[in-house]
Structure formats: C-alpha cells, structure tokens
C-alpha cells in the first residue's frame, strides 16, 4: 500500500503525544505507513540508496535489529527523509522514533538489552529546537523526574574516599588557592596513573636511585574502572562492581587498615627505619642491594596521617565492645558518608568479633573491618526513594540521607561537611528550599572544594587525554618537539594540571564562563610550555636558524679556542718559570690551579662539541614562545617518583597573539584530539558538532572501511579527499569542515603556517548548525571559535551537557522546562556557572524519582 505525499498517517494521528509514554501500536498500523510515505521513494526494490531496501523490512526482531537501529538514528536526527522531500509531522516523527526504541527494548530484552538511546553520545538525537523552542500543538509534557537508581561511585571518588583514611590534606589557604587542599580529588601522577600513596609525606630519604624509590613506595592503584575514555562517564547504568574488583578492594583494605593503625611501621622491614635522623639508619642498615625493597626507605617519626578510633583500638592490648564499635562506626561513615543505623553497626561489630575469635585480635580486627569496604553504600550511592509520598504524577521526592548525599555528590568527593550533615540528621533536607540553601552555601564557600565541577569540564572538553596518546617517535620529532623518552607524556600530564588550574581561575570569576574558556588568552604554563606554545618554523626559517646557529657556534668555538690557547700559554709560562726556579712555591701553586682550570675548560669544550654533534644548543625547528607572568600553582599528586614527581609551580601567562584563542587551541586539547601520527580532524569536527552545536552523528556503518590513505607526501586535508565520496559526505560534511580549521596546529599542538613545505589551509565551514547566523565559511579555527563563543545555541548545548552530567542521564522532552530555566539562570546571571548548577540541582529532574511503587500508587 503506497500512500501519496502529504497524507497524514492514520495511526494515532489525532491523539495527544506524551513524551515517555509507551507507544502501543503494531508494525502494520504505525511503522509501515510511515515507511511507505517517507522512506520507500529512496529505499525500495528499485532505488535502494545506500544499498538499503526498506520495502522488505518487517516488524522488529533480533535479526533485523541493526537495521531498525539505523532507521531510528536517521529518523531521530532528521536525516531521513532528505531535506528536499516532504517531511513528516513533528509528532509523527517523535512517535515513530519512540515506537522503534520500545520495540528494540522489547525484542532485545534477553539478548543484552537495547541501551543506545541512553548513551550520552546519543543524547543529541533529541531535537534541540523542541527543547528550547515552542512545542507544536498536540504535545503534552508531564512533570519530569529521574528514574530510581543506584550509582556506582567513580574511580576518582573511590580513591579520594580511601585517601581520607590514610593521608592528611592541608586546609584551604586563600593566599594559595591553586595548591592541594582537603577535599580535592586525588590527581594522577607524572605517568598518568591514579594511585594512592602510603606515607610519602614521611619519607626522608631512600637508598638507590629513582627506580629504587618508585618500587619501594607502597601504593593503592585505582580499582573501579571506567571503560569510557572520552565524554561523560558517570551514568548509573554504565558500571557495576565485579568479583575481581571486589577481591582487589579486600586485598588493599587490609593494607589501608594497617597503615591507619600503625603508620609507616606497617610498611618497613626494620623499626630503625623510623627516625628523624637518617644517618642513624646507616649503622643498622642491612647489607646488600636494597633497590626495590621496603628497607630502601627512611621515614620520619612525625604523625602525618589521621588518628582514628582504629589507631586507639590497636594501641591498647585489650579489646572492648566500646572501642570496637567506635572503630566500626567511624569506618562505616568514612566509607559510606553516613552513620550506620543500629542494625548495620551491630552486624559489622559481630563480624569483627567473630574474626577476632577465629584468628586473634591483630589479624581479626583487620579481617573483620575489611568487610565494610564492600558495603553497598561504600561502592554505590542509592536514590531509590523508598520513603516519601508519591505525588499525583507518581513521583517521589528524595529525602534525608538520599537527598543530602545526592547534593553532596553533585559537588564533592568527600563526606558531607558538618552543616550539611547536621541538616540531614535534624530533618532539614526534605524540600527544594533545603537544597537551595545548602547548594548556595557550598558554592559560595571557596574553602569547600568542589572537584565534581572540575570533572564536568574535563568530561566536556576532553583535554586530559594527551598523555595517553602514544606518539610515534619519528612523527613526534617531526613536529619540532625535542623532548625524548617520557618527556612529552610528562609535559602533557603537566598540561592537564595547568588547564585544570586555568578553568578554576575562570570559575572563580564566574562571568561568561563558557565564552571565556573558549576565547581566553590566558595560559597557565610550565617552562616546557614555551615549546608547546611556540611556532613551527617554515623550511626557510629553519635553514636560516641552522645557519645562524652554525655561525654562532663557529664564533663561540673561535672564542673558546682563543681562551684555551691563552690558558695553555699561561700554563706554559708557569712551567718555564718553574724550570728556571724549581723552588718557587707561588709559581707551583699557580701552575696547579691553572692546570686544573685548563683541564676543566678542555673537558667543557669537548662536551659542548659532542652536544653540538648531537644537535644540542638550541631548537632550530621552533620559534619558542616567550611566556611570562605572575606565579601560580596547579594541584599535582603527592610525590610519586622521587625527582620525577610533578611540581605545582606555574605562571599565569598570555598566549601569543593571533595564534591561540581559548582551550580548544591549547596543546592539552589539541594533542588529546590527535592520534599517534597526525592530527585527527574528523574527531575534532565531531567534537565541535556534538559539544558546541548539539548535533548528532550516526554510527559508522559496518560496511565502511574508515581509513585514510597512507600517503606521507600528502597533507591530512589532501588525504581526507576520500571522505568526500557521495556515500561518505552525507555524514562527513557535518565533521570535516569543523575539524580542518585546526590544521593551523600540528599534532603536538604547535602553531604552524606550513605543512610538508606547503602553506597550511585552515579554512572550514559551519554547515547546518541550527542557527543560520552561525552558518558560513571560516578562514581558520580562531574565527570559527569566536563565532561559536558568541552563539546562544552553543550556550544552550553547553547547558544540555551540564544537565546530563549532574542528572546522570540524557535529557527528554519532558526536561525542556528544566533546560530553559537553567539556561535562563546562566544567562541572566552573566554566564554564571554557580547559577547554572543551582538551577539544575533544585530542579524536579534532580529532586524527584519515578519508582514502580509510586507509579502504581498514583494510578490508583
């Protein structure tokens, strides 16, 4: 049955469309008429565009699920039907899309399920114009709520909880806001590892080299994993805790508990290693090679860890229920962020007592308390809304500890501070006003650290991946970077810490936050950044630099030769003088001194000559940036590798004018969006399309070989000609013109004007952005970024990503009022991130949960 164009679908056409309500319709009543009217012209037996024949497509089943998923993506993204053809009514498109998702969920229920619509990368499949514009007649929104759920804590949150047990972090110092402070997340070390270190603040010295130190220091690596490397990572249904992780947690729990009880004494092989005078250890130090052994390290006697009820318990020989319960209750709240109820306290107390009865106090206490590390609330945060009265829409508002911990988790990685804790205990965390009060208080207090806010920007910008991009050594050298070994990767981890600090400086000002991050000329930099923010010289400039270097070296060699000749002459004169007068003491002394000076000068000259042969003595590939400015500090990890540990010292500088504009032109972001050999213009274009324009890209068809030709003599733009093939360009036109403007930088993030000795072509175009004012050609990345930074649509897309991060789910049409209110709060308060967060955390989407119990009650 072929329907003529313009006929309204008969199935359910007159009904009101309610987003989220299951579409109860059969394939022949809804899907088939839609396909006949809008799809068969291009995808029937005769045409089969894209090798796709939909006329043979039947009702959704597990064998054709992949095809239906593709249809869903094309319909939701409004890619099908083509723009030049008649378009379905908005409600028809929405209803058909919902029907496909519902059917895929049904047929795939026992086959791993269908979750694509819940993936944050698919969140842009919801029409931006419907979320922020006027809805067509016939769409009826219902008050929003998030589903009841439990969240597994993130790796960052888990390791920070454990850090609280064994390390004492400094209190906030307003004079040095960039330095590490209690409540900050545990940062990665110089090698990009997220680890928790035991007692490093106590270390006075170590035997052997840096490797000896590194292999001797005890650490807790992150156990809970995040499979996702880019974008939003903290959705409730992404992760659980498997048995292997639970086993690792138990294994590390005992190490942590022993350190809580005994400090460095739990780490050493000899008690003499605990001393304030490291020289005393030399008298008793074991003979032999200590490298890699615990006996390589000397610790001070200072107590630099929290002293807890566990320390008090193990300090005394006797065991009492009072001390045991104090240890149980302390550890439970430290790990779950709430005090145990009587049943929980009694249960864990009995577990510890049973363990002591079996293996004695020493091992029994640690064995029994380790079980708390696997408590549900130590690894998950629940929002089940099991108490509270459902409203007329079947929604239950979070209450008490669930609400308080939801607010706490929105900003922090450590347990609630005392005002929030008391508010929960006294029953003052039950209303929207209660949440407004606590969120406003915490956001206003700079001493209350809020690492979740910084994590949002890491997830949003993806600037923290550069140190993990394994660069080909030859390709990296071709960029002009002279760093060898691990130098480049260390520089990238430093760059991440620097970008963290820059974002926090912008957040502290809290004015036009997104625009400022996209357009700032400020740079938080290390000395190494003078290279990365430099300019790659052209072939002619390199030749001139090499010639100038050789000339300078030749002149310096002549001067050095003259100095050496003069010194040799002086030595010869002294030798002649002594020959005539062997007993001249003054001449003997002078000869000895001058001979030493001559030997040192000759050695220095020889070393400089060897260095010149190795290519040392200045970089002839790069015009080094002159980054200067006042000092600042970035938060870095605790000492982790001796001399290789990261240093906090930075400067707040200004990027070279006309070459950089905001975070998207900083090496941290550029390298994060590259690969081993080159830039990745396609990924950069996808980033711009999804994160700033709110567009979506369908998954790459399995029939496509998504590889560029290997042509070392061709530029990346030239090799990307293959993406302009008709079959590819439908999608690539959304990406390539947005990513290619960043070709003004090479894959180490250096600014350049030539590539392969050809002038760099950094032109691009914004196409089908959804905002006609944005569309059009751009001459380079700076012009494109400036246009995007001025766009209200880009602001709204930013708000959508903030919603996903803080709600832990994708937005729906029912969330449109929440998104509009959040954007209004942001814009009306001068681009304030605090206002945006407050609006989101006091919204119905954050406060209410939909639970099956409540839905049944409301239905009655």
- Model pLDDT for residues 308-325, shown as the tens digit of each residue: 999 999 999 889 999 999
Q: Tell me if 624 sits within 8 A of 481, measured CB to CB.
A: no
Q: Which residues contact 307 (CB under 8 A, 6 or more apart)?
A: none
Q: Tell me if 766 sits within 8 A of 778, measured CB to CB.
A: yes
Identity of the highest mean pLDDT range in 256-265, 477-486, 547-556, 610-619: 256-265
**pLDDT category of residue 847 using cuts at 50, 70 and 90:** very high
Nearest to 70 by CA among 769, 822, 704, 717: 704
Q: pTM of the predicted model, to two decimals? A: 0.93
Lowest mean pLDDT among 38-47, 154-163, 433-442, 562-571: 38-47
- Model pLDDT for residues 629-657, shown as the tens digit of each residue: 999 999 999 988 888 899 999 999 999 99
Share of the chain above pLDDT 90, in %: 78
**pLDDT category of residue 855 using cuts at 50, 70 and 90:** low
**Cα 621 from chain centroid?**
32
Q: Which residue has the higher pLDDT, 32 or 613?
A: 32
**Token pair belonging to 805:** 């991060």
Beta strands 848-850 and 146-147: pairing type? parallel
Report the C-alpha gap between 772 and 765 in whole angstroms.
Answer: 12
**pLDDT category of residue 4 using cuts at 50, 70 and 90:** very low
**479 three-class SS:** coil
Q: Tell me if 55 sits within 8 A of 40, measured CB to CB.
A: yes
Share of the chain above pLDDT 70, in %: 96
- Model pLDDT for residues 379-422, shown as the tens digit of each residue: 999 999 988 899 999 999 999 999 999 999 999 999 999 999 99
**pLDDT category of residue 702 using cuts at 50, 70 and 90:** low
Q: Tell me if 396 sits within 8 A of 377, measured CB to CB.
A: no
The alpha-helical segments, DSSP class H, found in 629-725 are 667-672, 681-687, 716-719
Phi, psi of 698 (to 5 degrees): -65, 155
Torsion, Cα of 831, 832, 833, 835 (10° steps)? -120
- Model pLDDT for residues 787-818, shown as the tens digit of each residue: 999 999 999 999 999 999 999 999 999 999 99
Does the pLDDT at position 214 exceed 90? Answer: no
**Token pair belonging to 638:** 């605790």
User: Can you give the pLDDT at residue 11?
Assistant: 45
Nearest to 32 by CA among 58, 8, 12: 58
- Model pLDDT for residues 29-87, shown as the tens digit of each residue: 999 999 989 888 777 666 667 677 788 899 999 999 999 999 999 999 998 888 888 88
Strand locations in 708-756, DSSP E?
754-755
Q: Tell me if 575 sits within 8 A of 591, measured CB to CB.
A: yes
Residue 631 half-sphere exposure toward CB, CA atoms < 13 A: 7
Q: Please compute the mean of the pLDDT values over residues 534-546 and round it to a whole number.
A: 94
**Cα 820 from chain centroid?**
27
**pLDDT category of residue 8 using cuts at 50, 70 and 90:** very low
Nearest to 668 by CA among 184, 196, 192: 192
Lowest mean pLDDT among 399-413, 521-535, 577-591, 661-675: 577-591
| DSSP collapsed to 3 states, 534-595 | CEECCHHHHHHHHHHHHHHHHHHHHHHHHHHHHHHHHHHHHHHHHHHCCCCHHHHHHHHHHH
In order of 271, 396, 430, the CA distances from 390 in angstroms are: 61, 5, 14
Nearest to 151 by CA among 408, 389, 399: 408
In order of 548, 563, 606, 611, the CA distances from 560 in angstroms are: 18, 5, 11, 15
User: Can you give the pLDDT at residue 6?
Assistant: 41
* Terminal-to-terminal C-alpha distance of the chain: 42
What DSSP string describes 272-305?
GGB-S-GGGHHHHPPSS--TTSGGGEEE-S---S
**Token pair belonging to 488:** 């480049």
Q: Please compute the mean of the pLDDT values over residues 190-215 and round it to a whole number.
A: 90
């Amino acid at each position: 049955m072929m329907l003529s164009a313009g006929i309204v679908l008969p199935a359910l056409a007159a009904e009101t469309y309610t987003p989220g309500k299951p579409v109860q319709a059969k394939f022949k009543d809804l899907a088939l008429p839609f396909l006949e009217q809008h799809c068969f012209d291009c995808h029937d037996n005769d045409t089969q565009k894209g090798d796709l024949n939909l006329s043979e497509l039947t009702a959704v089943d597990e064998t054709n699920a992949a095809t239906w998923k593709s249809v869903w993506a094309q319909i939701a993204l409004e890619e099908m039907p083509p723009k030049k053809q008649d378009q379905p009514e908005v409600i028809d498109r929405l209803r058909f899309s919902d029907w496909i998702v519902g059917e895929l969920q049904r047929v795939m229920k026992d086959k791993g399920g269908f979750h694509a619509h819940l993936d944050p990368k698919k969140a842009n499949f919801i029409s931006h114009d419907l979320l922020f514009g006027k809805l067509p007649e016939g769409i009826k929104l219902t008050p929003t709520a998030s589903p009841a759920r439990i969240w597994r804590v993130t790796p960052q949150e888990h390791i920070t909880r454990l850090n609280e047990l064994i390390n004492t972090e400094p209190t906030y110092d307003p004079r040095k806001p960039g330095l590490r402070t209690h409540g900050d997340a545990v940062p990665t070390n110089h090698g990009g590892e997220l680890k928790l270190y035991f007692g490093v603040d106590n270390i006075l010295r170590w035997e052997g080299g840096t490797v000896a130190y590194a292999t001797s220091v005890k650490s807790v690596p992150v156990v809970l994993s995040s499979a996702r490397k880019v974008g939003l990572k903290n959705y409730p249904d992404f992760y659980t805790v498997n048995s292997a992780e639970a086993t690792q947690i138990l294994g590390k729990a005992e190490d942590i508990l022993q350190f809580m009880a005994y400090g460095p004494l739990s780490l050493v092989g000899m008690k003499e290693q605990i001393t304030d005078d490291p020289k005393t250890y030399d008298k008793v130090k074991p003979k032999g090679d200590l490298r890699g052994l615990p006996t390589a390290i000397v610790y001070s006697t200072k107590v630099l860890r929290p002293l807890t009820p566990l320390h008090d318990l193990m300090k005394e020989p006797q065991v009492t229920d009072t001390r045991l319960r104090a240890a149980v209750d302390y550890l439970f709240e430290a790990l779950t962020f709430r005090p145990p109820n009587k049943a929980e306290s009694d249960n864990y107390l009995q577990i510890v007592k049973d363990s002591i009865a079996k293996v004695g106090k020493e091992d029994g206490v640690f064995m029994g308390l380790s079980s708390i590390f696997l408590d549900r609330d130590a690894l998950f945060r629940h929002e089940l809304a099991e108490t509270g009265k459902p409203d007329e829409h079947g929604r239950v508002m979070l209450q008490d500890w669930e609400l308080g911990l939801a607010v706490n988790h929105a900003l922090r990685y450590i347990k609630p501070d005392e005002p929030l804790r008391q508010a929960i205990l006294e029953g003052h965390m039950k209303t929207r006003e209660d949440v407004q009060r606590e969120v406003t208080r915490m956001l206003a207090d700079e001493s209350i650290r809020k690492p979740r806010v910084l994590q949002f920007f890491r997830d949003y910008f993806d600037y923290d991946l550069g140190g993990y991009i394994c660069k080909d050594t030859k390709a990296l050298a071709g960029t002009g970077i002279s760093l060898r070994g691990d130098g480049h990767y260390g520089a990238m981890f430093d760059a991440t810490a620097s970008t963290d600090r820059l974002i926090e400086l912008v957040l502290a000002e809290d004015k036009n936050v997104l625009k400022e991050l996209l357009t700032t000329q400020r740079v938080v930099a290390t000395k190494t950044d003078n290279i990365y923010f430099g300019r790659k010289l052209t072939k002619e400039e390199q030749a001139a630099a090499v010639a100038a270097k050789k000339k300078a070296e030749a002149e310096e060699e002549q001067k050095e030769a003259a100095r050496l000749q003069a010194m040799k002459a002086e030595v010869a004169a002294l030798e002649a003088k002594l020959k005539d007068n062997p007993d001249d003491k003054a001449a003997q002394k002078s000869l000895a001194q001058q001979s030493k000076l001559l030997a040192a000068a000759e050695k220095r000259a020889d070393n400089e000559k060897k260095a010149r042969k190795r290519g040392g003595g200045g970089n002839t590939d790069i015009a080094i940036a002159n980054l200067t400015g006042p000092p600042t500090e970035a938060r870095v990890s605790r000492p982790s590798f001796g001399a290789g540990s990261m240093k906090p010292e930075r400067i707040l500088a200004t990027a070279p004018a006309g070459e950089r504009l905001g975070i998207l032109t900083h090496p941290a972001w550029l390298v994060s969006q590259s690969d081993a050999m080159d830039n990745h213009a396609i990924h950069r274009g996808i980033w711009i399309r999804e994160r700033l324009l709110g567009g979506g890209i369908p998954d790459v068809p399995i029939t496509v070989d998504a590889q560029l030709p290997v042509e070392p003599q061709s530029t990346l733009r030239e090799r990307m000609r293959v993406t302009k093939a008709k079959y590819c360009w439908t999608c690539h036109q959304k990406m390539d013109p947005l990513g290619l403007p960043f070709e003004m930088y090479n894959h180490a993030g250096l600014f350049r004007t030539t590539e392969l000795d050809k002038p760099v072509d950094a032109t691009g175009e914004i196409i089908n952005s959804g905002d006609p004012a944005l569309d059009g050609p751009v001459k380079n990345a700076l012009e494109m970024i400036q246009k995007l930074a001025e766009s209200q649509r880009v602001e709204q897309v930013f708000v959508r990503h903030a919603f996903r991060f803080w709600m832990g789910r994708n937005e729906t049409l029912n969330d449109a009022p929440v998104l509009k209110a959040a954007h209004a709060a942001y814009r009306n308060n001068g681009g304030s991130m605090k206002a945006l967060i407050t609006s989101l955390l006091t919204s119905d989407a954050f406060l209410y949960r939909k639970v099956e119990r409540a839905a049944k009650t409301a239905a009655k």
